[in-house]
Structure 1
Amino acid sequence: MRTALLVCYDIASNQRRRRLDLLLSQHGERLQYSVFELVVSDAEWGQLRQHIRELIDETTDSIHCYPLCRWCRQQIQLQGSALLPQTEGFVCVG
């Protein structure tokens, strides 16, 4: 089973931010400067969360992860030059 997630972040350090960008880009697609959409299995998400915990400074950095079910993803409204990532093969986990 694969889950789509929206990951948004605010990282204080340029070095940690670059590391997080690289990590997230290996698992999903950048939507905006500090926003990624990922489609991962439960096991991948568990490993990714552990890597994120090891990478960030919990006193200055913040990460927000929002699960996106198919229905929620179909309700997304875009404006301007925004494109919806092509993610397939995920199910609602809620």
Structure 2
Amino acid sequence: MRRCYLVCYDIRDPKRLRRTHKLMKAYGEAWQYSVFYCTLKPIDRVRMENALREVVNLNVDQVLIVDLGSNEEAAREAATILGEALPEQDTGIVVI
């Protein structure tokens, strides 16, 4: 079963920051530059964490992963946005 996560990070080195951002784009949608919303299967969460451990410096960087639960709609509605709205949700449907 997929669960929703909010992943936030504070990376001190610009090169690691770019690598972390590129990595996270494969797992979720950017809500801000260092904040991602992800809907992941348990195995994908493990893969994401392992990949993050390879990119970040655990002595000086920080990654916060918040489990928002299994209900995607409720997880999105739990967010309060001040300022510019979040990007439209990608439905994953492609029409050719």
Shift of 1:85: 5.6
After superposition, the C-alpha distances for 1:25-75 in whole angstroms (9 at most, x for unaligned) are: 011111112111111110011111011111111111000000112344323
Indicate yes or no: 2:26 matched with 1:26.
Answer: yes
Q: Which residue does the alignment assign to 2:43?
A: 43
Q: Aligned residue pairs: how many?
A: 88
> Structure 1 residues 45, 87: closer, same or farther in 2, change over 3 A?
farther
TM-score by length of 2: 0.80
Gaps of 5+ in 1: 89-94
TM-score by length of 1: 0.82
Q: Which residue does the alignment assign to 1:77?
A: 80
Q: Root-mean-square deviation (CA), in Å?
A: 1.8
Indicate yes or no: 2:11 matched with 1:11.
Answer: yes
| Separation of aligned partners in 1, 2:22 and 2:77 | 27
Greater Cα shift, 79-88 or 50-59: 79-88
